[in-house]
Amino acid sequence: MGAMMSLLGALIAFFIYIGFLKENLVQEWQRVANANQVLDAWMMGGILTIAGVTTAFGALGQLVSDREGNRYQDFQMTALKQWQLAISYFISAFLISLIMQLVSFVIMAVYFKVTDNLTIKWEDSGKLLLVSLLGTFVATVFCQIIIEFIHSHVVFNRMSALIGTGIGFAIATYMPVGALSAFSRHLVKVFPSSYIASSFRELLIGNKIPAVVRPELNDYLGIKLTVFKHSLSLSQNLLLVTIVSLLGLGLLIIVNHLKYKQH
């Protein structure tokens, strides 16, 4: 149920876009050919990333419920080891998040195909799946780190609302990177999910942007993020997220081990 509500939260951003934001954005970019399709693909990349984060966190709410209801302690008394318990919750959240991203993708792809004739290069399906897998992994890692410090549903619900609201701004989905202040642009680049959103957008938009304005829009829309004055390629995005994911996984193992020792 928590994951479904988190998915609904991600799709609310989709409904806000088609109901309120899209018309204004298209008017601003009338000089750009394929403006509808470019903006649709740009929003898809952001919402897929939001869905990955919020549904992973929502799915991990089961861990909070089990702790609060003392079921987790019952599991610890079985033959299951601590690391096996942690992995089981992780895999469950990972799979739920991945499935919910697929559901979001299908809903948006069908809608934008019907309304704006948005075409997706299916030869990029493998790359899109890779981005989704890596995005789901890094989201689940850091969500589970946060969950390790939450032991009541009251705190979980508050944190869920905070993440659900904040992630869209953190990865520049509700407002393009180029429209943010210098400090906010730097802040966006702190979050690994921003590089997942950038990767999704690069694949979904492809060559839909005319070459004459492509460098400008790549920067403004966050299709390519610039770090230390270097515009990151798709492979560099994924390498960076992989490194951060592994560091996060190491931190999760340490946190889980320390908590287990205390028991």
Query: Quick check: 261 pLDDT over 80?
Result: no
Mean pLDDT on 17-29: 81
What is the average per-residue pLDDT within 209-234?
Answer: 89
Q: Is the pLDDT of residue 118 over 80?
A: yes
Closest CA to 218 of 235, 201, 204: 201
User: Which domain covers residue 93, as residue numbers?
Assistant: 2-262
pLDDT band at 175 (very low <50, low <70, confident <90, very high): confident
Q: d(Cα 20, Cα 248) in Å, to the nearest integer? A: 37
Q: What is the mean pLDDT of residues 162-174?
A: 89
CA dist 220 and 48 (Å) reads 19
Total domains in the chain come to 1
SS3 82: helix
* pLDDT recorded at residue 165: 86
Start-end of H helices in the chain:
2-16, 22-28, 35-59, 61-68, 71-76, 82-116, 125-147, 153-170, 182-188, 192-205, 214-220, 234-262
Please tell me the predicted confidence (pLDDT) of residue 186: 93
Q: Looking at residue 52, what is its pLDDT?
A: 94
pLDDT confidence tier of residue 74, bands split at 50, 70 and 90 = low
pLDDT of residue 216: 87
In sequence order, which residues have a C-beta less than 8 Å from that of residue 218 and are 6 or more positions away? 209, 224, 231
pLDDT of 262 above 60:
no
**Cβ density class 201-239: b for 16+ within 10 Å, e for less:** bbbbbeebbeeeebeebbbebbbbbeeeeeebebebbbe
The single-letter DSSP state of residue 171 is T
Averaged pLDDT for residues 117-140: 94
Residue 227 pairs with which residues in a beta bridge? 230
pLDDT, averaged across the chain: 88
Give the residue among 251, 225, 246 at the shortest CA–CA distance from 137. Answer: 246
